[in-house]
Structure 1
């Protein structure tokens, strides 16, 4: 498995989401037809900081050996983040058909990353000595 590609894609995705949430929370709320309050704007900016930080973690570990026992905390953190978010998004989408189409795109992206990082948890980066 090409972990450098996976980690780079994840890092860029999270960093871009973090920058957008940090610097344009009102615009994001308007794009999903949500009413923005000062408290909600602050929560989105804090979420943006979290995403950006997580993206930087992935960027800094993109060249490291990941999988199996190697960098397991990074793999577990990514796997749990993407899996929990994908499940929450899918639950919201199946229960509410009024959500914007962009939420479907985000849910699919999360599901793909959840699958990739889930597989990475059980994949050994060391070639077997046959």
Structure 2
């Protein structure tokens, strides 16, 4: 599996989520009909920072070898984030009719990323065969 593509897509997804959450906290609070106060805004901004941190981590590690023992902490962090996130989204999906336009696509994305990171965690990287011209 080409992990560079996965890492690039996950970093872009996380960056979009992080930037949106960081720069539009009041709009998100109003859309979700949550009580707006300083603590709510603070927690939403911190959540955006976490998304952006994961995005930059994945972006900077995208060219390295993944699988087996290689980059296991990064793989496990992503698997934990997307796996637990997918489970949480699956649990609330039946009760979220008001926000189904957000929950359903987000659930699908989280499940897909969780499965890919689980696959990377369970498999060893494929060794690249050298051609006769390279040393």
**Residue pair 1:7, 1:59 contacting (<8 A) in 2 also:** yes
Residue of structure 1 equivalent to 2:126: 126
Shift of 1:26: 1.0
TM-score using structure 2 length: 0.88
TM-score using structure 1 length: 0.91
After TM superposition, the runs of 4+ consecutive aligned structure 1 residues lying more than 6 A away are none
Q: Which runs of 5+ in 1 are unaligned?
A: none
Q: Which runs of 5+ in 2 are unaligned?
A: 130-135
Q: Deviations over 1:3-46 (max 9, x none)?
A: 00000001111111111111111112233343433211110100
Residue of structure 2 equivalent to 1:15: 15
Matched length: 129
Q: Deviations over 1:69-103 (max 9, x none)?
A: 10011001100110000100110112343334111
**Residue pair 2:93, 2:100 contacting (<8 A) in 1 also:** no
Shift of 1:128: 9.3
Larger gyration radius, structure 1 or structure 2 = 2
**Residue pair 1:86, 1:107 contacting (<8 A) in 2 also:** yes
Residue of structure 1 equivalent to 2:115: 115
The separation in 2 between residues aligned to 1:13 and 1:96, in whole angstroms, is: 22
